[in-house]
Amino acid sequence: MNAENVLDVAMSAYWQNDPADVSVNAICQMAGISKPSLYRAFGSEDGLSRAVLDRYAEQVLSDIFVILQGGTGLHQTLDALIDFASDDPRMETGCLFYKMRAGKHRLGPDTLSRVEEIDAAARAAYAAFLQAARDAGEWPDGLSVEAGARYLGEQIALAITQRASGEDPARIREMLTLALSVFTRR
Partner DNA sequence: TCATTTTTATACCAATCGGTATTTTAAGTC
Partner DNA sequence: GACTTAAAATACCGATTGGTATAAAAATGA
Residue 40 or 90: the one with the smaller Cβ distance to DNA is 40
Stretch that binds a copy of itself, among 8-16, 52-60, 108-116, 151-159 (CB under 8 A): 151-159
4, 105, 109, 137: which one binds a copy of itself (CB under 8 A): 105
| DSSP track, 119-164 | HHHHHHHHHHHHHHHHHTT---TT--HHHHHHHHHHHHHHHHHHHH
24 makes contact, choosing from DNA, a copy of itself, none, with CB < 5 to 8 Å by partner type, with: DNA
Q: Rounded distance, CA 60 to CA 139, Å? A: 29
CB of 37 to DNA, least distance (A): 4
Chain residues 3-32 in contact with a copy of itself, contact rule CB under 8 A = 18, 20-21
User: Where in 9-38 is the site for DNA (CB under 7 A)?
Assistant: 23-26, 33-37
Q: Rule CB under 8 A: say whether 155 interacts with a copy of itself.
A: yes
Contact between residue 63 and residue 84 where contact means Cβ atoms under 8 Å apart: yes
Q: How far apart are CA 53 and CA 100, in angstroms?
A: 9
Instruction: List Cα–Cα distances, 73 to 47, 55, 86, 137, in angstroms.
Output: 39, 29, 20, 11
Which of 53, 96, 162, 163 contacts a copy of itself by CB under 8 A? 162
**Residues found near DNA in the complex (CB under 7 A):** 1, 23-26, 33-37, 39-40, 44-46
